[in-house]
Amino acid sequence: MKHVLVTGGAGYIGSHACKALARAGYVPVTYDNLSTGWQDAVKFGPFEQGELSDRARLDQVFATWSPVAVMHFAALSQVGEAMSKPGLYWRNNVEGSLTLIEAAVAAGCLDFVFSSTCATYGEQDNVVLDEDSAQMPVNAYGASKRAIEDILVDFEAAYGLRHVIFRYFNVAGADPEAEVGEHHQPETHLVPVMLEAIEGKRPALTIHGTDYDTPDGTCIRDYVHVCDLVDAHLLGLRWLEDGKGSRVFNLGTGKGFSVREVVDASRAVTNREVPMTEGPRRGGDCTKLVSGSTRAKEELGWQPQRSTLTEMIADAWRWHQSGHYDR
């Protein structure tokens, strides 16, 4: 069986990717330091604990499992923290990724699927973004991801490292079978924060800004279900296995929802009220951030199956109610 090294496989997206890989006949090998991931999310293949910065440990893991590809999810990703501690993000995300990439090349593992972000585009307010949009990151998180994209391009030129880069928009939802789900500490994403407020695990959901130039005054974002997202990663892996060239893909639905629309959908799904307060705008929040790309659909054949507000919230709610969330 083919092994795939999944960095950050104990985290939110990585654990869902491991489940999808296992179902597709691969053996996902999770490599994670458990700083933000969870040991009990590793259910679908072997676990190797380690740091991205530990070249000797990475060499050992590559030698043990001989993976055919890497799916690289491991990263620090809190925008506020990136603003206040940029050095941490450059050191962890960029230096760590460079060490991983060098280890992969040394092991002859030349297919690389990278988890990037729409944050590389920066604050292009009210612009529908595609893969050719200018990259103008405004914090160390987006800048570090863009730098890793550049590293991959250089390593392809030098060593033939083939890569697929996915720039995500807002990821939401959970495994429909509630085996894994979204659980960050601290939690900052809209859907889980909203569900925590519904459950009384936090006093209220704060809506940051109600005076944007949108129909209801709140920000609009493009949401994609985590299971649809990892389906794209499998298609990206097969793209590389088929010998196709390195490529960048946006992953979004092209449809935006406002914060109030998400709240209304959660009320309908859970049949509960959402405790809310209104606060000022946060620095760096755009009015509207939506993908305008169809490249993933046209070239990969990616067709999102669960990326409706109802299904994303229902799956996340099922995860919250399963008891796993309280671990």
- Does one domain contain both 115 and 197? no
Q: Does residue 325 register a pLDDT over 70? A: no
Q: Is residue 178, in this structure, part of any structural domain at all? A: no
Instruction: List, in sequence order, the alpha helices (H) in 31-165.
Output: 55-65, 79-84, 86-89, 96-106, 140-159
Least confident of 45-59, 210-224, 264-278, 279-293: 279-293
Which of 43-57, 110-124, 228-242 has the weakest average pLDDT? 110-124
Residues 56 and 166 in one domain: yes
Let me know whether 31 and 126 are in one domain. Answer: yes
Check pLDDT > 70 for residue 286.
yes
In the block, residue with structure tokens 């729409």 = 118
Catalytic position from the list 12, 31, 141, 168: 141
What is the span of the domain harbouring residue 285?
190-222+254-326
In this structure, is residue 281 part of a structural domain?
yes
* pLDDT tens digits along 180-235: 988 767 777 889 888 889 988 889 999 999 999 999 999 999 999 999 999 999 99
Range name among 61-65, 109-113, 137-141 with the lowest pLDDT average: 137-141
Same domain, 194 and 96: no
Residues 213 and 154 in one domain: no
- Asked if residue 122 and residue 11 are part of one domain, the reply reads yes
Please give the residue that has the higher pLDDT: either 188 or 59: 59
CATH number of domain containing 205: 3.90.25.10
The pLDDT confidence band at residue 114, using thresholds 50, 70 and 90, is very high
Q: Is residue 184 part of a domain?
A: no
Give me the pLDDT at residue 94, please: 95
Contact 73, 117 (CB under 8 A): no
Say which CATH number the domain at 134 has.
3.40.50.720
Q: What is the average per-residue pLDDT within 259-269?
A: 94
Please report which confidence band the pLDDT of residue 126 belongs to, taking 50, 70 and 90 as the band edges.
low
246 and 307 share one domain: no
Establish if 277 belongs to a structural domain: yes
Does the pLDDT value for residue 117 go beyond 80? yes
Active site residue 26: no
Q: Are residues 134 and 266 in the same domain?
A: no
Same domain, yes or no: 51 and 111:
yes
Across residues 222-251, what is the average pLDDT?
97
In this predicted structure, which of 22-31, 133-142, 182-191 has the lowest mean pLDDT? 182-191
| Omega of the bond leading into 215 within 30 degrees of 0 (cis) | no
- Same domain, yes or no: 246 and 288: no
Identify the pLDDT of residue 323: 67
Q: Is residue 181 part of a domain?
A: no
Identify the pLDDT of residue 127: 75
Residue 54's pLDDT is 97
C-alpha angle with apex 145: 208 to 140, nearest 5 degrees? 55
> pTM of the predicted model, to two decimals?
0.94
Report yes or no on 64 lying in a domain.
yes
- Indicate whether 144 pLDDT > 80: yes
The number of domains in the chain is 2
At residue 247, does pLDDT exceed 90?
yes
104 and 210 housed in the same domain: no
Measured CA to CA in angstroms, residue 195 lies from 98, 201, 261 at distances of: 37, 9, 14
- Determine, yes or no, domain membership for 180: no
The answer to whether position 177 is within a domain reads no
Amino acid identity of 86? P
Which pairing describes strands 162-168 and 69-72: parallel, antiparallel, or unpaired?
Answer: unpaired
pLDDT of res. 327:
52
Which residue's structure tokens are 């990892």?
Answer: 230
Confidence check: pLDDT of 248 > 80: yes
Average pLDDT over residues 128-153: 92
- 3-class DSSP assignment, residue 295: helix
Supply the pLDDT for residue 277: 93
Res. 173 pLDDT band, cuts 50 70 90: very high
Whether residue 128 sits in one domain with residue 81:
yes
